[in-house]
Amino acid sequence: MAYTPEFSMKASSTLRRIAWAVGKPMTKTAEDIMDFLPQIIDKKIVCKRCRDKTKCNDCVFYGRVNKKNAYLIKSIIRDL
Protein backbone atom coordinates (compact mmCIF):
# COMPACT_ATOMS: atom_id res chain seq x y z
CA MET A 1 0.00 0.00 0.00
CA ALA A 2 1.27 3.48 -0.82
CA TYR A 3 0.18 5.02 2.46
CA THR A 4 -1.97 4.24 5.47
CA PRO A 5 -5.08 6.41 5.59
CA GLU A 6 -6.15 7.77 8.91
CA PHE A 7 -9.83 7.34 9.69
CA SER A 8 -11.85 9.80 11.69
CA MET A 9 -13.11 8.52 15.02
CA LYS A 10 -16.59 8.14 13.52
CA ALA A 11 -15.33 6.20 10.48
CA SER A 12 -13.17 3.97 12.67
CA SER A 13 -16.11 3.25 14.99
CA THR A 14 -18.34 2.47 12.01
CA LEU A 15 -15.78 0.11 10.50
CA ARG A 16 -15.29 -1.60 13.87
CA ARG A 17 -19.03 -2.22 14.25
CA ILE A 18 -19.36 -3.53 10.70
CA ALA A 19 -16.39 -5.84 11.37
CA TRP A 20 -18.06 -7.14 14.53
CA ALA A 21 -21.31 -7.69 12.64
CA VAL A 22 -19.67 -9.75 9.89
CA GLY A 23 -17.27 -11.51 12.25
CA LYS A 24 -14.08 -10.40 10.50
CA PRO A 25 -11.06 -8.29 11.45
CA MET A 26 -11.26 -4.59 10.63
CA THR A 27 -8.56 -4.88 7.95
CA LYS A 28 -10.42 -7.65 6.12
CA THR A 29 -13.71 -5.78 6.48
CA ALA A 30 -12.16 -2.63 4.99
CA GLU A 31 -10.87 -4.71 2.05
CA ASP A 32 -14.32 -6.27 1.60
CA ILE A 33 -15.88 -2.81 1.54
CA MET A 34 -13.37 -1.75 -1.15
CA ASP A 35 -14.31 -4.87 -3.14
CA PHE A 36 -18.03 -4.18 -2.69
CA LEU A 37 -18.23 -0.46 -3.46
CA PRO A 38 -17.04 -0.68 -7.08
CA GLN A 39 -19.99 -2.99 -7.74
CA ILE A 40 -22.48 -0.24 -6.91
CA ILE A 41 -20.67 3.00 -7.78
CA ASP A 42 -21.29 4.28 -11.30
CA LYS A 43 -18.06 3.51 -13.16
CA LYS A 44 -18.75 6.23 -15.72
CA ILE A 45 -18.46 8.88 -13.02
CA VAL A 46 -15.29 7.32 -11.61
CA CYS A 47 -13.65 7.08 -15.03
CA LYS A 48 -14.71 10.59 -16.00
CA ARG A 49 -13.15 12.08 -12.86
CA CYS A 50 -10.11 9.80 -12.70
CA ARG A 51 -6.77 11.61 -12.48
CA ASP A 52 -4.57 8.67 -13.53
CA LYS A 53 -5.48 7.39 -16.98
CA THR A 54 -2.31 5.25 -17.09
CA LYS A 55 -3.81 2.50 -14.91
CA CYS A 56 -7.10 1.83 -16.73
CA ASN A 57 -6.34 -1.80 -17.65
CA ASP A 58 -5.62 -2.62 -13.98
CA CYS A 59 -8.49 -0.56 -12.53
CA VAL A 60 -11.37 -2.34 -10.78
CA PHE A 61 -13.80 0.00 -12.55
CA TYR A 62 -12.48 -0.71 -16.06
CA GLY A 63 -15.00 -2.76 -18.02
CA ARG A 64 -17.11 -3.38 -14.93
CA VAL A 65 -20.85 -3.84 -15.21
CA ASN A 66 -22.65 -2.86 -12.02
CA LYS A 67 -24.61 -5.63 -10.38
CA LYS A 68 -28.22 -5.48 -9.30
CA ASN A 69 -29.07 -4.74 -5.67
CA ALA A 70 -30.80 -8.09 -5.12
CA TYR A 71 -27.64 -9.94 -6.15
CA LEU A 72 -25.50 -7.76 -3.89
CA ILE A 73 -27.75 -8.28 -0.89
CA LYS A 74 -27.64 -12.06 -1.39
CA SER A 75 -23.85 -12.02 -1.66
CA ILE A 76 -23.51 -10.07 1.59
CA ILE A 77 -25.94 -12.29 3.47
CA ARG A 78 -24.18 -15.41 2.18
CA ASP A 79 -20.95 -14.20 3.80
CA LEU A 80 -22.64 -13.68 7.15
Contact 67, 39 (CB under 8 A): yes
Give the per-residue pLDDT at 14.
Answer: 96
Cα 36 to Cα 24, 31, 53, 54, 75, distances in angstroms: 15, 9, 22, 23, 10
Residues 6+ apart with CB under 8 A from 41: 61, 66
Give me the percent of the chain exceeding a pLDDT of 70.
76
Give the per-residue pLDDT at 9.
Answer: 96
Give the per-residue pLDDT at 42.
Answer: 85
Q: Please tell me the pTM assigned to this model.
A: 0.69
